[in-house]
Structure 1
Amino acid sequence: MNIIASDSSSYEGLASMLEGYDCPAILVSVDYRILAINQHYRDEFGEVPLQQNKRCFEVSHGYSVPCDEAGEDCPISATLQSGHKERVLHIHQTPRGKEHVAVEMLPIHDSQGKLLFFVELLRAISVASTGKANNKLVGASKSFNQMLEKVTRVSPSDASVLLLGESGSGKELVANAIHQGSSRAGNALVTLECSGLTDSLFESELFGHVKGSFTGAHSNRVGLVELANGGTLFLDEIGDVPLSMQVKLLRLIETRSFRPVGSSTIKHSHFRLVCATHKNLAQMVKAGEFRQDLYYRINVFPIHVPSLRERQDDLVLLTNTLLKRISQRKEYHLTDSAMQALKQYDFPGNIRELSNILNRATLLTDTNLIERSTIQECLEIDRELDSLVDASSASQSLSINDAGEDKEWLDLKTAEKRYLLELMAFHHDDKEKVAKVAGISLRSLYRKLE
């Protein structure tokens, strides 16, 4: 075949082949030239002047060299090395700005096995953003894109997913992205925070109960498993599930059947399971603190959610995005020196801590420009609380009956409660807002204010 040697008009017959795909598709030569595009591509990304012999990396990224020479993964290069189709996740320039796009590259050979060209399929990823939308994953760093690529692969399936990452790294948002990218997106995503629950409370929350089944059960209650029927059940901090309850959870996962507390009626629920933890479950299995059979049931497709330290390249993007989410009416900006102060901090609390710091900064600044001194003041609040916690812990280790230790602990609790009460007053008793600013759950806020 001598089709490669002819001009772009020779590809009109081949271009019709692209219309058979249900997503944007382009025909690319072995030297990166875009030969044809389908109507889906025109609708989503616009027209491409084929007569100008534009190359794919010029149109998609504005690069002057192929992606792998610009520091990114190149699907053509990967396909040439493997000899079969490859998939990568890129951030493309689109008429709407920069967007995450899953790229699948299909090599096309002639009957003698000679590589003729590639078909490139592009699917925009709606669950992630480069900073424009609320309730979406935000990022552009390599570690973020590696995580997002796994999210887009597993989302359409019904496989159980285990999210592994530090507290505050955004595991709940990742769970939501998995749900939104699945066929279950039209049904509920039901979340159970497993930490701090007793055996009886965990069982009641998960399976529900009938009236009179225990003291305080004044009416029937539908459990979260039943509410998740047809949707996704997200068990956050699965490592905190009481060992005595893990066998019941295992039975639920294996049979998708359960009984409400106090009932003899067996119910069924068809849900997709997503779990998350900041703990090392493999070590817990070895220590006898987590059932091995349950571990293998939930660990079908593990995804590492990177810490903020692992995605430093996203700090500026995340900061700007969080500031927009914090205040819809007033636009805040950080000075260069203020941003530098954030870059020098290691964020043990990850994105949740960054959000807390920025919330404080907007409260402490008198203008819409956040200075370095304001950021340092926000960071100092955490340092003071940490020092109180450290002092209290050291005191407790010396003697449980030490009166000075008791005073230390009371001082810490008093300082924490005073801080929360001040936030309550500032936010006019809006508990959800206060919990968000303080970086704790609503349940924890109620407990700390008692």
Structure 2
Amino acid sequence: MPIDPTIAAVPAVAAPLSAQMQSLVSFLEHEAQPMIVLDPGYNILAANDAYRRQFGGTGKPFIGQKCYRVSHHYDLPCDQAGEHCPMKKAQELRGPDRVLHIHHTPRGPEHVDVELRPIFDEHGVITAYVERLSTVRSASARPSDDGLVGRAPAFNQALAALQRVAPSMLPVLLLGESGTGKELFAGAVHATSARAGGPLVVVDCSGLSETLFESELFGHEKGAFTGAAVRKPGLVETAQGGTIFLDEIGDVPLAMQVKLLRLIETGTYRRVGGVETLHADFRLIAATHKPLDAMVARGEFRQDLYYRINAFPIRLPPLRERADDISLLADSFLRRAGGGTRALSIDPDALAVLQRLAWPGNIRELRNVLERAGLFADDGVIRVAHLPAAPVLSGLAPNDSDDKPGGPSGDALGDAPARFAGTRSELAASLGISERTLYRRLKQQGKL
């Protein structure tokens, strides 16, 4: 497959900067965030001190290097390797573009929020680009002892949406099957917001009766009902200055939904048995595994409340769409299960089995399976025999895994690239893999 003719050999040094570019670079040196200047040929012309500290490594040269080689270790621009390329998009838009990528850094792979802006000359021609990079702290692309972990495209899409909405005050609605990590995502939204210094109050809406829900949420006055011996502040009051996470909001009793709507719309409420109007100050995050739109159509969920909480929906992918992440998640869970006192690992054959399972319980089920298997791993190695029997996927899962069932192995590519007359994306589709996976395999086999 031919290599893009625009890609030349890596120059040893960057070309001398013009006076205008020197002024731009001097200006960027005062920016606290890592920033680089690129030419239209993807070459890094300059970098500010923040970039050199965070991404420059220990003396490794990067001035004059292609940005995709430094950040991704690719031999081609991102869009030709199956990724979103902000430079290509900025050229089309003639304006800024923003994307979440996984970059290679001196610390290992990390999620990085990339914003790229074109620089025009007096004739309106793009002469350079300024790229601002922000490391995403709310998730890890490596095994981690806590928090969100993942690298799969479906996970990165949800994480990118989180990065967009977290700094705002928009209500967030997390949608996904049970066990997909909705509470962890809610915690990440809160931790990335301006309210991170305030409390995150979790309200489990499932199983609460109408009376109990109102009392828990709004609190009650002394003597409001039998057993109310003292005034009790509600969770809304506890969340002042922070965030409320209404988990499984689809289970809120219909009669209570109107009071919840009033709270969200007016920011006011009353304690049960009280007459004083209190003012709330919180950011709302809600989550559910139920189809709220279908519930609205059946009259089981208020339409006006649905529109209020659905300002920014984020779909959390099921684990079957994240087979690439199973190894990463397994390593993370085994580190947590070991507790620092017992090292646990997983046999490659056992890992291959995990990657083929359907996982109806998603990440929660994976964690439970590994914790159980660890009890049988006397030598610290989890093997196939330690795993419970479970249904496997009946077909290809929509993920980017090299090991997914039905996907061709590296050798199975054979001479398909040489015989195929279409584009690389069409070849990937014909083989049942993603373009990024195809690029990786072609590179491994020296066919690029």
**TM-score, structure 1 normalization:** 0.80
Q: Does structure 1 conserve the Cα–Cα contact (< 8 Å) formed by 2:56 and 2:62?
A: no
- CA displacement at 1:20 relative to structure 2: 4.3
Higher relative contact order (CA 8 A, sep 6+): 2
Partner amino acid for 2:16? S
- CA displacement at 1:85 relative to structure 2: 0.6
Q: Quote the residue 1:338 is aligned against.
A: 350
Q: Does structure 1 conserve the Cα–Cα contact (< 8 Å) formed by 2:109 and 2:142?
A: no
Q: Quote the residue 2:148 is aligned against.
A: 137
- CA displacement at 1:216 relative to structure 2: 2.0
- CA displacement at 1:9 relative to structure 2: 4.9
Q: Does 1:264 align with 2:283?
A: no
Q: Quote the residue 1:37 is aligned against.
A: 47
For 1:51 and 1:335, the matched residues in 2 are separated by 38
Q: Does structure 1 conserve the Cα–Cα contact (< 8 Å) formed by 2:143 and 2:331?
A: no
Q: Does 1:26 align with 2:36?
A: yes
Partner amino acid for 2:363? I
Q: Which has the higher helix share?
A: 1
Q: What does 1:293-332 align with in structure 2 at a 5 Å threshold?
A: 293-328=304-339, 329-332=341-344
Q: Does structure 1 conserve the Cα–Cα contact (< 8 Å) formed by 2:62 and 2:70?
A: no
* Structure 1 residues not aligned, in runs of 5+: 1-5, 381-450
CA pair 186-134 structure 1, distance change in 2 beyond 3 A: farther
- CA displacement at 1:331 relative to structure 2: 1.6
Q: Does 1:161 align with 2:161?
A: no
Q: What does 1:42-441 align with in structure 2 at a 5 Å threshold?
A: 42-46=52-56, 53-328=64-339, 329-376=341-388, 379=390
- CA displacement at 1:209 relative to structure 2: 1.1
- CA displacement at 1:353 relative to structure 2: 0.6
CA pair 185-337 structure 1, distance change in 2 beyond 3 A: same
Partner amino acid for 1:8? P
RMSD of the alignment, in Å?
1.8
1:150-188 deviation digits (Å, cap 9, x = unpaired) = 000000000000000000000111101100010000010
Paired residue secondary structure (1:8): coil
For 1:331 and 1:28, the matched residues in 2 are separated by 45
- CA displacement at 1:233 relative to structure 2: 0.4
- CA displacement at 1:262 relative to structure 2: 1.2
Paired residue secondary structure (1:36): strand
How many aligned residue pairs are there?
375
* Structure 2 residues not aligned, in runs of 5+: 1-13, 392-448
- CA displacement at 1:18 relative to structure 2: 1.5
Paired residue secondary structure (1:93): strand
**TM-score, structure 2 normalization:** 0.81
Q: Does structure 2 conserve the Cα–Cα contact (< 8 Å) formed by 1:365 and 1:374?
A: yes
- CA displacement at 1:112 relative to structure 2: 1.0
Partner amino acid for 1:340? A
For 1:208 and 1:43, the matched residues in 2 are separated by 50
1:7-51 deviation digits (Å, cap 9, x = unpaired) = 235453331121243310000000000001011112211267668
Q: Quote the residue 2:403 is aligned against.
A: none
Q: Does 1:7 align with 2:15?
A: yes
For 1:358 and 1:167, the matched residues in 2 are separated by 18
